[in-house]
Structure 1
Amino acid sequence: MMDASVDFSKEMEALTKDLVGIRSVNGTAGEREVAEFILRWLRSFPYFTTHPERAFAQEIPGDGLGRENVFAYVHGTKEAGTGPRKTLVWHGHIDTVGTEDFGALEPWANDPDALLEKLLAEPDLPDAVREDLATGDWMPGRGACDMKSGDAVFLVLLTYLSEHTDAFSGTIVLSLNCVEENEHTGILHGLDVLDELKEREGLEYLFAINNDYICPLYDGDPHRYLYAGAVGKLLPCVYIHGCETHVGQCFEGFDASVAAAEVVRRINYNTALCDGYRGEYTLPPSVLKLADLKPAYNVQTAQEAWTYFNYFVHAASVADILAVLKGIVKDSMDEIAGRIDAEAEKYAKLAQQPVVPPNFQPEVMSYDELVAAVREKRAAAEAKETALDDELAAMAHKLRAKGRDLREISLAIVRELVRELHPTRPLAILFFAAPYCPANTLRQEVAGEKKLYDQLESLVSSFGEETGEQYKILQFFPSLSDSSYLKIDDTPESVATLYQNLPGGKTVSPVPTERIRSLSIPAVDFGCYGKDAHKWTERMYKPYTFGVLPKLILKAVAEFL
């Protein structure tokens, strides 16, 4: 039997410090280094010495840094079944964001003990942070909260269960992935391993437990949250091709950068675009880039500009989102055209000149409409038949091979198509770019998923009564997570609309949607507890993370295995 009184805290704290001590910033060789450390650590235990094939690394194909995922699995021996092995997946990520935000404290960003001393001596440390750290219950450091303490909890518990296989039936699979903090490359390749293990070991995946950080949602928030899914993310982009002019004749042109700024004004922070499910709402879109495309200084107004947004999703279809955004972009373009006319008229009166408003008539297209327009132009010109799809695919592959940013690849394709179309009036193109993070949750309208939700709700309710914690289950982990790639709630039609409007397609956004749909592993975030992830004041609360969370996870093992 599993002993609920076992204290794992010292071992988990020491391992967390070891993991934080390895600077595994996303996009650096440290991601491979931390994976190698974890694999060595696992293989130092008797179970994996006896079964070395049950702890292994998966190198990311074609990755210039040689980054790896780490997998391990333990079979329970409590009961011998005849059907598939009921299986829980424990998953997390091993990379972190950078440490530049620590400023002068950066040399200690990966040393929790030294950083604690430095922070407490910092005169400008926020009072709330100082109060936490002074208790001795909080561990600072990059990755302490997001999410190396969560990884350490999994690792210690897995090795504990490897020594008590008679305490549970079924299987536990550990999946620790690289490249989570931007492109989610680790989990996307890790799906191959989960699929292979399912077939080879005869596994039936019940659900996955993520240990990504949970945090208070407001000052004084007493809750510990479980998240029954992960928020989705789209990256809608708007490219604007204006009508250039010399600044000495500014009213004769349609400045693309001004129109892009108007698009940002209307979309950014717009709570009308918050997507809801069962009373939970996403945050509104946030602009991530806004730029004109002039290569150098001159006195010509911007002919081209573009912008893109983080757009969270709970339940809306891609088609509905596309339609709403297209309307906003059209209104933005018309607003700028009207403003130019109005200001040109005012200036003419001021300068006592004849009024000749330019009267621009902007057009807005989605990417699939742009492609159709180019096809139509080629057909009308009776041009030699060429495979446009093949041309665009070759362009995407060529640019990707050169290491171009994935968003820039999609933009380059749009620009090439617009160049061929050669518009004579202002034109905006609405398209999507990578990454695509599917939304998923335990849907209340799906019987099997509601049953699992109810089981988890009952589990944390009884556990909260034992521990005094106030648990609350929410449908969506509000920050981006690898859990997005274990289950997909978007319909095939919605996914098709996305890729029809994503220049470069699966070359730049290689989400294996059908494999995800086939595996369909519900993902629930239990989470280490902390504050200020991605900030220099990042810190993790040790009493909950190392004292309460392990018992909750073991309770889930006892309940489901």
Structure 2
Amino acid sequence: MKLQCREEVLAFTKQLVNIESIVNTDGEKVIAHSLYTLLSSFPYFTNNPTHITLEQTINDDHERHNVLAFVKGTKGTSNRTVILMGHMDTVGIDDFNQLKDLACSPDELMEALKNEDLPASAREHLESGNWLFGRGILDMKSGVASHLYLLKYYSEHPEELDGNLVFLAECDEEDGSHGVLSALKTFKSWKEEHNFDYVAAINADFVSPRFEGDENRYIYKGTVGKLLPSFFITGAETHVGSCFEGLDPNFIAAELTKQINYNPELCNEALGETTVPPVSLKQTDLKPSYTVQTALSAYVYYNFFIHSWSPKEVIVKLKEQATIAFEAALSSFDERYKQFCAISGEPYMSHSWQPRVYIYEEMEQLLIQENGDAYVQHMNEFKENLLLDITLDTRMFAARVVEEAWKWMSDKSPAIILFYSSLYSPRIELSGKTDNEQVLINALDLAVEQVQPEYPHPIVTRNFFPYISDMSFVALSDDEEGIQAVSNNNPGWGTKHFVDYQDIRDINVPVINIGPYGVDAHKKLERMETSFSLEIVPNLTNLVIRELLK
């Protein structure tokens, strides 16, 4: 059965895109209420009002909501349940510059873009009639629209469904994933109340070419994991006029970035696929203002993708890399100091600095051993007071905690402290190791086989969705030791930041991604191809649902 869905999915897409829903703004609240109102107007939910809910996120600094709904099939008595998930929030629109007011109005934006100086490929897409431009149209409101269409279809045809369909439109995917983490609580309560047997989840985040000229349209089984390893670096302060009497922490930070950034040794291969290497997302010193003293400390953090490594393995590898960088920095410093002495005639005075790298957990244990309850009580009070500073995100909060802990170290010689300062998005490996995984893989393969003849470009399955997504929070491939490496080494854990990973284990459902195809997500020329996104995606998803619930 082929769904004639293009026009309805297109209408839903534009309706969602028209609502500016930038993450961490009131727009997230607006779009959730709008979507809830739309769903509530469907006859099925008018007759079954308890099957839809608008829920505010928990433990969140912002007021925002998820929209959740479910349709119970009447074809049989199966409790097998498929989750359809996607996020409503988008990144900002400042990059649209003078077209900012049109960023969420696809038709008007495309008309205005005709007068812009565009790259050749964007110009071709604009004039083709088969692409739509606009903020969120690719990432990922057209994906939500596809799921919305399927929810509406089965609400009108529950007799075709032998099992249940759960719909989640979550907020805050682009920042802290408060949406999906809150939704897990609802999934669990529905599981108990309605006896739902969750067998699969289908996400609808965007897919793009992997390289220039790539014509494949990708479907992903499982997803990449994402960590934010962070480094607090101390040096030896000195006046800049006597620079070789001290050690600039920025110098060590630069060597660390040279060692870690783009390093292929830190790519993680699994199932024949390899992550991109780490890259720096922030590098700064922590001086509050200008002085002619070198900085006391510096702070850097890096994006780090994983396919099979655990957070514990990553922290061990990065301690080794930090040690290598520290040694290189000290060697380079000494070499340059000797060269300076040779040309200036000043005497060379050796320093006793040695590479010192601590994992946060190691430093914490050392300080507790040395200072006991006094240290623990002080740090607890410090963190509680620090929570009052709402300008600090989780990353800077963690840095300030480490900075404060460092003050208690008896040996203040230069050191690197390694920790995690943000949300861990777990990796998900879908290999067929369980019955549910194998059934999902088989259903996907069959769906692609049936749809491929109707579409001119290859539809190709891969093992790891390559971008950060909320897919990470419906299943867990890590063992308890791996998760403890996250909680034990995040200085903000339990105060500024906390994730109940047991909620994920309680759902633990295999997940795939069937999403809209396009290019330039998060950019001014964000756009999606309509034929794949509005027709192929809903039909592929529908075939997988039917195969899973037959």
TM-score, normalised via structure 1 length: 0.94
**Contact 1:223/1:472, CA 8 A, preserved across alignment:** yes
CA displacement at 1:181 relative to structure 2: 0.1
Q: Distance in 2 between matches of 1:60 and 1:301?
A: 43
**Contact 2:200/2:436, CA 8 A, preserved across alignment:** no
Tell me which amino acid in the other structure corresponds to 2:373. T
Cα-Cα RMSD = 1.7
Q: Distance in 2 between matches of 1:246 and 1:556?
A: 66
1:217-228 equivalences under 5 Å are: 217-228=210-221
Which of 155, 159, 168 matches 2:161? 168
Which residue does 2:85 correspond to in 1? 91
1:330-349 equivalences under 5 Å are: 330-349=323-342
Q: Distance in 2 between matches of 1:5 and 1:100?
A: 40
Q: Deviations over 1:194-247 (max 9, x none)?
A: 111111111000110101111221223222211111111111011111100011
Q: Distance in 1 between matches of 2:434 and 2:307?
A: 16
Q: Is 1:328 equivalent to 2:321 in the alignment?
A: yes
Which residue does 1:487 correspond to in 2? 475
Which residue does 2:302 correspond to in 1? 309
1:186-335 equivalences under 5 Å are: 186-335=179-328
Tell me which amino acid in the other structure corresponds to 2:249. A
Q: SS of 1:227's equivalent?
A: strand
Counting aligned pairs with the same residue, the percent is 36
**Contact 1:441/1:523, CA 8 A, preserved across alignment:** no
Which residue does 1:529 correspond to in 2? 517
Tell me which amino acid in the other structure corresponds to 1:69. N
**Contact 2:60/2:178, CA 8 A, preserved across alignment:** no
Q: Deviations over 1:381-413 (max 9, x none)?
A: xxxx51655554444344234322111111111
Q: Distance in 1 between matches of 2:34 and 2:440?
A: 35
Which residue does 1:24 correspond to in 2? 21
**Contact 2:439/2:548, CA 8 A, preserved across alignment:** no
1:460-539 equivalences under 5 Å are: 460-539=448-527
Q: Is 1:68 equivalent to 2:62 in the alignment?
A: no
Q: SS of 2:199's equivalent?
A: strand
Q: Distance in 1 between matches of 2:269 and 2:109?
A: 40
Q: SS of 1:209's equivalent?
A: strand
CA displacement at 1:450 relative to structure 2: 3.8
Tell me which amino acid in the other structure corresponds to 2:423. P
**Contact 1:414/1:503, CA 8 A, preserved across alignment:** yes
CA displacement at 1:534 relative to structure 2: 0.4
Which residue does 1:39 correspond to in 2? 36
Which residue does 2:50 correspond to in 1? 53
Q: Is 1:366 equivalent to 2:364 in the alignment?
A: no
CA displacement at 1:446 relative to structure 2: 4.9
Q: Distance in 2 between matches of 1:167 and 1:354?
A: 87
> Which region of structure 1 is more displaced relative to structure 2, 95-104 or 54-63?
54-63
Q: Distance in 2 between matches of 1:62 and 1:485?
A: 16
Which residue does 1:382 correspond to in 2? none
CA gap 1:345/1:185 in 2 versus in 1, 3 angstroms: same
CA displacement at 1:448 relative to structure 2: 4.9
> Which region of structure 1 is more displaced relative to structure 2, 493-502 or 257-266?
493-502
Q: Distance in 1 between matches of 2:146 and 2:452?
A: 19
Q: Distance in 1 between matches of 2:456 and 2:380?
A: 57
Q: Is 1:102 equivalent to 2:103 in the alignment?
A: no
Tell me which amino acid in the other structure corresponds to 1:489. S
Q: Which runs of 5+ in 2 are unaligned?
A: none
Q: Distance in 2 between matches of 1:63 and 1:496?
A: 23
Q: SS of 1:462's equivalent?
A: helix
Tell me which amino acid in the other structure corresponds to 1:386. D
**Contact 1:362/1:425, CA 8 A, preserved across alignment:** no
> Which region of structure 1 is more displaced relative to structure 2, 493-502 or 30-39?
493-502
**Contact 1:436/1:509, CA 8 A, preserved across alignment:** no
Q: SS of 1:425's equivalent?
A: coil
- Count, aligned residues: 548
CA displacement at 1:66 relative to structure 2: 2.3
Q: Is 1:386 equivalent to 2:383 in the alignment?
A: no
Which residue does 1:396 correspond to in 2? 383
CA displacement at 1:150 relative to structure 2: 0.8
Q: Deviations over 1:93-129 (max 9, x none)?
A: 000000011111111101100000111211x211100
TM-score, normalised via structure 2 length: 0.96
Q: SS of 1:205's equivalent?
A: strand
Q: Distance in 2 between matches of 1:20 and 1:229?
A: 27
**Contact 2:199/2:436, CA 8 A, preserved across alignment:** no
Q: SS of 2:369's equivalent?
A: helix
CA displacement at 1:491 relative to structure 2: 1.1
Q: Deviations over 1:407-465 (max 9, x none)?
A: 11111111111101143321110111111101112134556534532342233223324
Q: Distance in 2 between matches of 1:356 and 1:12?
A: 73
CA gap 1:257/1:139 in 2 versus in 1, 3 angstroms: same
Q: Is 1:157 equivalent to 2:150 in the alignment?
A: yes
Q: Distance in 2 between matches of 1:167 and 1:539?
A: 34
